[in-house]
């Protein structure tokens, strides 16, 4: 069995719900192609006996211009693909960088990325943040909200750190905002999108995805309220939405398959919700249309964070 056949077998075993197709070359030294369509992302994986593995994500701006990443061995490619197909972003909300790195190391085999929240972001300098997230895709969850020029400047200053996602607020949760307030918030989002596009292009690096916060999970909300904020954000260029698991089905039905849906509020088998009101299990959230799951305390406060992360990932792999 050649390396890409073996890789295909491993992906099918790990992710039975993924759709995997193989295109075989006519020439013995030609390039093999493996398409993987999964709830998290779509991948095109190419392999040649002389060129090794090339991995491309379908949701990148550069798709079609060649592989996003290249790997010389099966182990290297499989390790990266394992993270790309994993929807779990481990929430780091401790100010202590050593504790953060220990948590990431403990759960590392069973997470797809790292979420850096306000506490860790403001407690550490940028070099320390880069060290904390090294080797992982990461989500900068600082929920930006300010006058448009301030948000634009803030975003331009962090694009070079290469976060995969950055969060913004859609607004201050006001149902009765006046026209001027709404125009300012909409301009904020439009300028935010322009800022990351321009800065990424100038620096020739991947463009971060902007995710709009609707109504946080510790507040009461209806699917209709969340949908209204989400539709407004998408119309202003946001790449995706952050909402509780309870609104996911409505968002996916109304917004279609393109927007990224990131959800916090994940509990472990109906466990404690802390201050969160709108929650669900990881499997329930993925079944409702989530692409990514932000999970903190069910893993970070567990007696065995590694075992907790594995339990959640296993529940997603087997679809239960």
**Sheet containing 42-48: order of strands:** 19-23, 32-37, 42-48, 52-57, 69-71
For range 94-115, the mean pLDDT: 96
Question: Measuring CA to CA, which residue among 320, 317, 277, 313 is closest to residue 295?
Answer: 313
pLDDT mean over 210-235:
90
Residues 192 and 66: their CA atoms lie apart, in Å, by: 28
pLDDT of residue 170: 83
- pLDDT score, position 172: 60
Beta bridge partners of 71: 53
More confident residue, 113 or 320: 113
- For the cut 70, the answer to whether the pLDDT of residue 269 exceeds it is no
pTM of structure: 0.91
Which residues share a beta bridge with 262?
A: 242, 292
Q: What is the pLDDT of residue 121?
A: 97
Question: Do residues 33 and 23 lie in contact, with contact meaning Cβ atoms separated by under 8 Å?
Answer: yes
For all residues of the chain together, what is the average pLDDT?
A: 91
**Mean pLDDT throughout 161-172?**
90
**Number of alpha carbons in the 13 Å side-chain half-sphere of residue 202:** 10
- Catalytic residue selected from 143, 193, 209, 320: 143
Higher-scoring residue by pLDDT: 307, 175: 307
State the pLDDT at residue 177. Answer: 67
**Residue reference for tokens 């803030």:** 154
Mean pLDDT of 278-295: 92
Confidence of residue 161 (pLDDT cuts 50, 70, 90): very high
The pLDDT value recorded for residue 45 is 96
| For residue 152, pLDDT beyond 60 | yes
What is the rounded CA–CA span in Å between residue 297 and residue 91?
8
Distance (Å, whole) CA 112 – CA 97: 19
Query: Residue 105 and residue 134: Cα distance in Å, rounded?
Result: 11
The mean pLDDT of 131-135, rounded to a whole number, is 95
Alpha-carbon gap, residue 172 to 145, rounded angstroms: 8
Give the pLDDT confidence score for residue 277 in this predicted structure. 65
174 or 220: which leads in pLDDT: 220
Q: Kind and range of the H or E element at 104?
A: helix 97-107
Query: How confident is the model over 27-83, as pLDDT tens digits?
Result: 878 899 999 998 888 999 999 988 899 999 988 777 777 899 999 999 999 999 999
For the chain, percent of residues with pLDDT exceeding 90: 75
Look at residue 300 in the predicted model and tell me its pLDDT: 95
pLDDT at 223 over 70: yes
Active site residue 320: no
What is the rounded distance in angstroms from the CA atom of residue 223 to the CA atom of residue 268? 23
CB 282 within 8 A of CB 261: no
Distance CA 265, CA 243 (A): 9
For position 273, what pLDDT does the model report?
A: 54
Q: What does the alpha-carbon distance between residue 132 and residue 100 come to, in Å, rounded to a whole number?
A: 7
Q: Which residues pair with 20 in a beta bridge?
A: 36
Phi, psi of 203 (to 5 degrees): -90, -5
Q: Say whether 165 sits in a helix, a strand or coil.
A: strand
- Return the pLDDT at 263: 95
Confidence of residue 19 (pLDDT cuts 50, 70, 90): very high
């Amino acid at each position: 069995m050649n390396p890409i056949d073996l890789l295909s077998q491993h992906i099918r075993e790990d992710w039975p719900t993924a759709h995997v197709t193989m295109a075989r070359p006519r020439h013995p030294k030609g390039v093999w192609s493996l398409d993987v369509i999964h709830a998290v992302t779509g991948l095109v994986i190419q392999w040649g006996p002389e060129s090794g593995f090339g991995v491309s994500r379908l949701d990148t701006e550069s798709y079609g211009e060649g592989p996003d990443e290249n790997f010389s061995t099966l182990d290297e490619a499989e390790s990266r693909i394992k993270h790309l197909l994993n929807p779990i972003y481990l929430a780091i909300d401790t100010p202590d960088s050593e504790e953060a790195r220990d948590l990431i190391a403990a759960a590392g085999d069973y997470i797809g990325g790292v979420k850096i929240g306000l506490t860790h972001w403001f407690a550490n300098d940028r070099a320390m943040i880069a060290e904390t997230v090294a080797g992982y895709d990461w989500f900068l969850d600082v929920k930006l909200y300010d006058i448009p020029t301030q948000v634009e400047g803030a975003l331009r200053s962090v694009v070079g750190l290469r976060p995969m996602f950055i969060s913004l607020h859609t607004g201050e949760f006001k149902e009765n905002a006046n026209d001027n307030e709404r125009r300012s918030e909409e301009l904020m989002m439009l300028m935010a999108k322009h800022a990351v596009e321009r800065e990424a292009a100038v620096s020739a690096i991947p463009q971060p995805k902007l995710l709009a916060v609707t109504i946080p999970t510790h507040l009461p909300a209806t699917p209709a309220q969340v949908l209204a904020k989400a539709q407004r954000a998408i119309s202003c260029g946001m790449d995706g939405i952050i909402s509780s698991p309870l609104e996911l089905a409505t968002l996916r039905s109304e917004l279609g398959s393109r927007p990224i849906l990131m959800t916090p509020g994940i509990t472990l088998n109906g466990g404690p919700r802390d201050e969160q009101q709108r929650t669900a299990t990881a499997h329930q959230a993925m079944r409702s249309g989530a692409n990514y799951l932000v999970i903190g305390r069910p893993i970070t406060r567990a007696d065995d964070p590694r075992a907790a992360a594995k339990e959640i990932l296993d529940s997603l792999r087997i679809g239960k």
